[in-house]
Chains A and B, each alone.
Chain A
Amino acid sequence: MKLSVAWLRELVELPTEIDAIVDRMTMLGLEVEDVASVGLSYPHVVVGHVLDAQPHPNADRLRVCRVSVGDGELNIVCGASNVRTGLKVLVAKPGAVLPGDFKIKKSKIRGEESHGMICSERELGLGDAHEGILELSEGDIGQPADALYGFQDTAIEIEVTPNRPDWLSHIGVARELGAFYEKPVSIPDVGQLPAVGNDDAGWRVDIVDRSACSLFTGRLVDGLAVGPSPLWLRHRLLSIGQRSINNVVDVSNLVLHECGQPNHVFDRQLLSGMEIRVRRATEGEKLTTLDATERELAAEHLVIADAEKAVALAGIMGGAETEVTTATTEAFVEVAVFDPRVVRKGRRRVNLVSDASYRFERGVDFNRVEWASQRVAQLLTQVAGAKASDTVIRTLGDAPPKPARFFVRASQVNRVVGVPIPPQDIAAMLGRLEIPASAVTNDGAPGVAVEQPSFRHDLLEEVDAVEEVARLYGYDRIEVMPHAPMVRPGVRSDRERFVGRVRERLAGRGYSEVVYTSFMNEQDPDRLNLPATDTRRVTVNVLNPLVVGEEALRTSLVPELLRIVDRNRKRGHTDPVRLFHLGRTFEPRAGETLPCEVERLALAWNGSAHKAHFDRPARDIDLYDVLGETENILESMGVDAVRNVQGGEPYHRNGAGVVIESRDGQRLGVVGEIAPSVRRAFDLDQATFVAEFDVDALVASGRSDLGFQRFSMYPPVRRDLSLLVPSAVPYAEVVGCLRESLDPLLESHEVFDLYEGEGIAANERAIGVRLVLRSQSGTLKDKKVDGMLSRLLTTLEQRHGARLRA
């Protein structure tokens, strides 16, 4: 909402400096969005007198005028039909710049010299009239236009929080500033309020839905002369960014921005019957609103209707049919209070926010209604030559608001604000905000009795008044203590520790952390090749997605991770790509309102295994790199993980995915290569690998007690075995035999060679295994080792048909 500083100054005395006012507003809670100079100024535009106007020799519609501008005469070609000798006009001389950066220069029009321009209202930015040039009744020849039409003001745009609808008006903001500066607010004098009646000249008002409208007033105004508004009114509206329409509409608008009370003026002659009804719309009823849109109404809309039909959407917008026009002479001025929820529902349904609906939704001042009605009548009398009726038709609905009355403990103010403020001071502060308050004692407790003013919908109980006291006392005056309060040292959960460590480690190993959307594309389950029965096809969906097709919350971190790999490749990233992401997946739970949110860790690999170097050419990353990396990371996190090769994901390449489990068979996650078809679906042209883990499962299987493990001080024995093993026997089986035969002396084993091909039977492969054996209790003797290895070889032979390579 925009505020005019000049207008505010008329209502309350304010500091000269705009900055001081803006700072104060900010510190009172009025959020200032923008401060701008506004106004109209017309250098090189002066009052002129048309000495004569001759037809243009070469153009039918143009005239060549001789215009006196005080210090001389100008020859000006003018196209307006109303230009004639003797007219007093505004002349833009060469050098003038009119609104819209319209520069006036000497020119030749159809062969005739023209030294300026005679202006219309629109060219001056004063209004919409552009049919002809502006005809002046006042002003001296040569007088600068600024003296007649110019004005300067500052517009402050504020954002008003929903709790303070009273700030949606100049009077409301003036009241707030007055309270701070301790200056009285001078509300315009509207004279004696007229008598109140149930009807006037046969006109009556019937509130059918009494819960939706607590007060409705109507005022009959006759003898209107609808026309342009006087300058002061136009300037006022221009200052706050409102267009001038005509004197009647402008008055209605002005009163809204002055006191915050919406109101509407109907052309009374266009209303049928002499009865106004405030009722619900019938289903499908039609109304064309002022914005020339035909709207189909529903039962949740409250309308103002005449004897026949709806003529306005109550509290939202008037109807076009009964709008005030230049032909209007008799008006019906409506000022009412509508239920905030009813207006809110209605305007949401028609998807229309107006100045009126905005205020009704937040709450207007019940006790300001009759004043506003009188103010409209007063101004119409003043600027449109009208005569208002002596009576206000006033009809009450259900339940006029009852002010809340409550007690504010001085101790509570002290407790919350942290500053002791005596009850008398509290009462005085509230009093300055026009909140009735008096220092009293309640049950022996000193405090303040408060009554809610009708313009403060937010003041309902003690805490609301405490805030007012804090605000007026000034948040900036509350002292900062040297120590922040503390209850006990903070604690960290296992998950928090785990996640913190794994992130650091991954980054240290060359992985970049990525952060991305929780939504997935509806086609992602297909792209991932998930079978129809896969639970990841069952998603939590939002009803109002930003993008159609992206309503589902992700059930896997993989799809978007693949897109990120792809994006980086497309943008020319050539180095190895190693990414990780920590985030949640969402799984609906039968019988539960909220889904299960699973914290997951995903990793992606793509490209070469390492950066190319001059003596070490790049090599494509493969599954063994990925498995090794993954297991290394898990091991470093204290997770004792094993591979289950009987698993993998539907999106894994056939035979290239494993499930990672804890020793006790708990599923931790999966690692594998993306299937070529899935890769194509994500537009990736290189081999890509992903892993996805359940973080809580990792945390649970990680070593939480970091107990010391004894290690041997005796020398190790190394032995290399070159084994011939049938190809069908997986290495894990060999390891099983190693463990069985050599534990607890087996310290480590590694595959230093793997060979299939020439020199070896087709169904066999040679595996070179390097063993490290060590005893906790003494130096191992060769003889003992030889004995154990020979037992190992027997086992390998008997169980798997493996033997030493000759």
Chain B
Amino acid sequence: MSIAAKKDDAPHILVFSTNNISDPGIDMAGSAHMHYSTQVQVISVPCSSGIKPTWVLHALESGFDGVFIAADGTDCAYLPDCTTRTGVLVKKTQDLLKEHGRSPKRLRMAAVCSVCSESFVSHMANFQKDIVKIASD
């Protein structure tokens, strides 16, 4: 299969990354020439706890197949309880997705550190694989 064909078939993923911690790691995946799908689009935000559930729903309604939150974990520069807040946000968002008849599995969160390029690449590959499964269920 050619790369172009792969690109068309792969699930479309929106990534929210945090500009202090996750973004450098994702950026480095590119600068180190690691491969991840061109169907992945990244938007950086200051802190993952500021993401709104409606944004995620809007992304899925606008044609994205999955939304991935690359969070800071305990490394957040702004809030000591960032992980807890983001956890609450993810729960709320998944409830919202269910209400709208969408699988909560289309939202995923993981901590991505400033050098976690390899783990980000593998997260993307696994998430895309899982989305294909959700779609076929």
- Does B associate with A? no
